[in-house]
Amino acid sequence: MNFNVKTDNDRMVIELDGRLDTMTSPQLDEFLHTYLGGVKQLVFDLSRLEYISSAGLRVLLYAHKTVSRNGNMIVIGCSEEVTEIFDITGFSDIMDIR
């Protein structure tokens, strides 16, 4: 998995590409723990994400909880497969998925 980050003041957009799973989620988790401070709007662009596992879901949940204290998180560009995983796990009910 690769990710590209764009920042503009207190807004951060993270584009994910590939698979967010047990092998790749620690890299994103470490980045988020380091750089989420001060972010008020976080956008995850998942238009090129092929798969997300429970490990990846945990990373998104951490990001959501952290940013929601002082801002909001939006998830955009989900494929049918990723949307189905969000629906099955209930993430669709707690996150702003567009």
Q: Which CATH number fits the domain that encloses residue 22?
A: 3.30.750.24
The 10s digit of each residue's pLDDT in 33-57 is: 999 989 999 999 999 999 999 999 9
The more confident residue out of 37 and 62 is 62
Determine the pLDDT at residue 90: 96
Residues 25-55 as b or e (16 or more Cβ within 10 Å = b): beebbeebeeebeebeebbbbbeebeebeeb
Strands (E), the chain: 2-8, 11-20, 41-52, 72-76, 96-97
- Token representation of residue 34: 């380091």
User: pTM for the whole thing?
Assistant: 0.94
What is the mean predicted confidence (pLDDT) over 14-40?
96
Q: What is the tally of structural domains in the chain?
A: 1
Average pLDDT, the chain: 96
Which residues is 11 bridged to in the sheet?
8, 41
Q: How confident is the model at residue 17 (pLDDT cuts 50, 70, 90)?
A: very high
Residues near 37 by beta carbon (within 8 Å), at least 6 away in sequence: none
Determine the pLDDT at residue 80: 95
| Contact predicate 4/20, CB 8 Å | no
Distance CA 22, CA 37 (A): 24
The 10s digit of each residue's pLDDT in 68-89 is: 999 999 999 999 999 999 999 9
For 18, the domain range is 2-97
